[in-house]
Amino acid sequence: MAISDRIIVPLDVSSQPEAMALLDRLPQVTFWKVGLELFVSSGPGILTELKSRQKKIFLDLKLHDIPNTMAGACRAVGGYGVDLLTLHATAGKDALKAGQLAAQEGAIAAGNPTPNLLAITLLTSLNARTLAFDLKIPLELPEYVLHMALLAKESGLPGAVCSPQEVEHLRQTCGDNFLLVCPGVRPTWAESGDQRRTVTPAAALKAGADYLVIGRPITAAENPVAAFERICEELEGGRGEV
């Protein structure tokens, strides 16, 4: 797989026309993330547009509900032909299992490949202090993230979303076939923004990430194409900080 295919760029805009402009500006990008804001504002039309351009789709809805509702939502997503879909691991094993089965049913009915369901372990905007003091979870952050990933694996999900700071531990414990997607990845020349647990792209890949979600360092750059190409070149040339 080419390095450029392992970088997922978020369409973090509020409307489909804005998304189309970004797609036109970055034709080199093969894998795009559609999050809550864009999906709520544009509906599945943006997914149809991405598929018409032969792009891969990470539908990052972070579903979290009772098993029956999760199943209904995942069944509908199975019909869209997306590649990745996120659910919160904290929805519990029954909901994760229901979502996985329903996504497969929806995909088969539509003649699509089954999307890979990824469990959200812990949002990268949260840190150990938030976990302990705000959420009142007594586990240490790495232990909690590992528990959520193992819960997802035991529920039959093929992968998880985690901070690149935890990816090496998860890779060692969950195995080589467990898909790991890492947001919170920032080149050394980019600001971290509201992501609190970040590392460089090269370090994340070296630790075992399958895909990297890299947004603002590319989309908010003065020249997004140059920023995307710079990241790819740093990874291919091994010049990233590891």
Residues with active-site annotation: 62
Amino acid present at 104: Q
Beta bridge partners of 9: 32
212, 218 in Cβ contact below 8 A?
no
CB 64 within 8 A of CB 36: no
Q: What does the DSSP assignment read for 96-159?
A: HHHHHHHHHHHHHHHT-PPPEEEEE-S-TT--HHIIIIIS---S-HHHHHHHHHHHHHHTT-SE
Structure tokens at 46: 């943006």
Residue whose pair of structure tokens reads 């760029």 in the numeric block = 9
Q: Give the up-direction half-sphere exposure of residue 236: CA atoms within 13 A in the CB hemisphere.
A: 13
Distance of alpha carbon 191 from alpha carbon 3, whole angstroms: 22
